[in-house]
Amino acid sequence: MSGPVEIVEMGPRDGLQNEARLIPAAEKIALVDALSGVGFRRIEVTSFVSPRWVPQMGDAAEVMAGITRRAGVGYMALTPNLKGYEAARAAGADWIAVFASASEGFSRANLNCSISESLERFAPIMAAAHADGVQVRGYVSVVTDCPFEGHVSPRQVTRVAQALHEMGCAEIALGETLGRGRPEAIAAMLDAVGQAVPVAALAAHFHDTSGRALENVDVALEAGVRVFDAAVGGLGGCPYAPGAAGNLATERLAAHLRGRGFDTGLDEARLAEVAEMAAGLKQGEVRA
């Protein structure tokens, strides 16, 4: 196998949202600006959620206003409801993302509502985005294992992914939130989802808690997936998934894909520099 593979950079949003230190907007802006020079086609910058739930993202509008936009880079923002969507649009988000869960337990913990209720909340967002000509990405969390319910069946994942696709999401990102998913479970899940949603519309999002993220990337590649999420420096985790480690590190994923013969279009030397910067940011010491 060979050809192009897109890595969607999640560090500024998914990577930082659970950091204990309240990171100043200027440092977040510096991180996004540095990432913009690496060659990403999309960077998820922030989320327009209530600062009561995610204090780290309370400066979303300020960060979006402060970044230096580069041609060819799409700047994404996560939005839980129509109010968030309107704020993201006002801030100039190129893509917006909505997020659902494949398990009822995780939906209740993460969104404080059932899966069906979460999908209902997305309807006005999808209508507004369609009217505005804005692309929407849909996330599905806990696609193999849930911290509250254990095993998540491929049928559950397929139901939610198909619903998001039929609502108009241009891309569905399948999140292995806990980092416990074994390759065989990933393969079964992708086989099921791929029968309901075109594989070209799927992305994979792996955490590396059990050290299997790159094995699972290989399984997804075999299934035809060509878009992967990652976070520079392995930033991240999930506040509603106890024990989940960080996201798969972008620099590790880029090197792995290159070794497999795929072209990510990323400047790996610059990426390594930004990974150092991300490490400094976690420690309260941004390294240029």
Q: What is the per-residue pLDDT across 162-193, written as a single tens digit (0 to 9) for each?
A: 999 999 999 999 999 999 999 999 999 999 99
- Report pLDDT digits (tens) over 121-162: 999 999 999 999 999 999 999 999 999 999 999 999 999 999
Whether 287 maps to a domain, the answer reads: no
- Compute how many other C-beta atoms are within 10 angstroms of the C-beta atom of residue 213: 27
pLDDT band at 118, cuts 50/70/90?
Answer: very high
Contacts of 41 (CB under 8 A, 6+ apart): 6, 8, 72, 73, 74, 265
pLDDT band at 2, cuts 50/70/90?
Answer: confident
Whether 182 maps to a domain, the answer reads: yes
The owner of tokens 């976690």 is: 282
- Compute how many other C-beta atoms are within 10 angstroms of the C-beta atom of residue 88: 29
Map residue 202 onto helix, strand or coil. Answer: strand
What is the number of structural domains in the chain?
1
Whether 81 maps to a domain, the answer reads: yes
* pTM given for the model: 0.94
Please provide the size of the chain in residues.
Answer: 288
- Alpha-carbon distance of 81 to 9, in angstroms, equals 23
Whether 141 maps to a domain, the answer reads: yes
- Alpha-carbon distance of 168 to 23, in angstroms, equals 34
Radius of gyration of the chain (CA): 17
| pLDDT at res. 21 | 87
Range of the domain at 188: 3-282
Tokens (6 digits) for 269: 């030397």
| pLDDT at res. 245 | 59
Contacts of 71 (CB under 8 A, 6+ apart): none
Q: What is the CATH number of the domain that holds 156?
A: 3.20.20.70
Q: Is 169 a catalytic residue?
A: no
Whether 288 maps to a domain, the answer reads: no
**Considering only 230-234, 277-281, 283-287, which range has the smallest mean pLDDT?**
283-287
- Report pLDDT digits (tens) over 193-251: 999 999 999 999 999 888 899 999 999 999 999 999 999 999 875 544 554 557 899 99
| pLDDT at res. 283 | 66
Residue with the larger pLDDT of the pair 29 and 54: 29
Whether 157 maps to a domain, the answer reads: yes
- Alpha-carbon distance of 116 to 39, in angstroms, equals 37
- Report pLDDT digits (tens) over 57-97: 999 999 999 999 999 999 999 999 999 999 999 999 999 99
Whether 115 maps to a domain, the answer reads: yes
